[in-house]
Amino acid sequence: MRPNIRPAGSEDLGLVADLDQLCFSSGSWSAVAWAEEFSRLDQDRVILVADEGEVVGYVVLLVPSATEDPVDLLRIAVNPAERRTGIGRQLMSAALQRCAGRTVLLEVAESNESAAELYRGFGFTEISRRRGYYAGGEDAVIMRWQEDHE
Ligand SMILES: CC(C)(COP(=O)(O)OP(=O)(O)OC[C@H]1O[C@@H](n2cnc3c(N)ncnc32)[C@H](O)[C@@H]1OP(=O)(O)O)[C@@H](O)C(=O)NCCC(=O)NCCS
């Protein structure tokens, strides 16, 4: 079943927070942090969910109102049981459609090859690194996308 990608509403808060826990375990955002994200939906946050009758994936963007400022892609994840079926690509595609004419930045752990491959597939390129940024000393890779990157 191909999921419906739709904007999240307040009714999705608990489901998305639970899925985040499943996807990131100790690195998941707290219930308070998720409540803060959802409280900013009418301000500078865009949260899209992949809905198959249940929420199987989500993406979170910070979209500043000043269009010259870059959008930050803060989070993307898919239920482990549903990975590698194209849902991440669908979420990214829907997210980037909302970023026409803008620059998008994100940060990915050096070892996170699945996410980095997904990002590269959309034309994200590495622009810098934060050395030893993550616990354990792993680098954070900063990647950038621009609609007119080609
Ligand atoms: C990254 C993530 C969102 C990808 O979601 P997904 O639904 O499995 O991705 P898709 O099935 O749409 O794959 C799209 C492309 O991404 C790349 N990709 C995805 N998983 C991959 C893997 N395990 N290894 C290598 N490349 C991978 C491939 O290029 C793939 O295209 P292909 O299947 O035609 O080769 C998912 O692996 C995930 O939730 N990871 C944990 C959370 C995370 O680390 N998020 C990023 C940091 S916030």
User: pLDDT digits over 14-47, tens only?
Assistant: 999 999 999 999 999 999 999 999 999 999 999 9
User: pLDDT digits over 62-88, tens only?
Assistant: 999 999 999 999 999 999 999 999 999
Q: 112 CB under 6 A from ligand 1?
A: yes
According to CATH, the superfamily of the domain at 4-146 is: Gcn5-related N-acetyltransferase (GNAT) (3.40.630.30)
Q: 88 CB under 6 A from ligand 1?
A: yes
pLDDT at residue number 150: 46
pLDDT at residue number 1: 76
Q: 118 CB under 6 A from ligand 1?
A: yes
Straight-line distance from the first to the last Cα atom of the chain, in angstroms, rounded to the nearest whole number: 33
Q: 50 CB under 6 A from ligand 1?
A: no
Q: CB under 8 Å to 7, separation ≥6 — which residues? A: 41, 46, 47, 48, 49
Do residues 116 and 76 make contact, with C-beta atoms less than 8 angstroms apart? Answer: no
Share of the chain above pLDDT 90, in %: 95
Report whether pLDDT(116) > 60. yes
Q: Tell me which residue has its CA closest to atom 17 in ligand 1.
A: 118
Domain ranges of the chain: 4-146
CA distance 35 to 21: 14
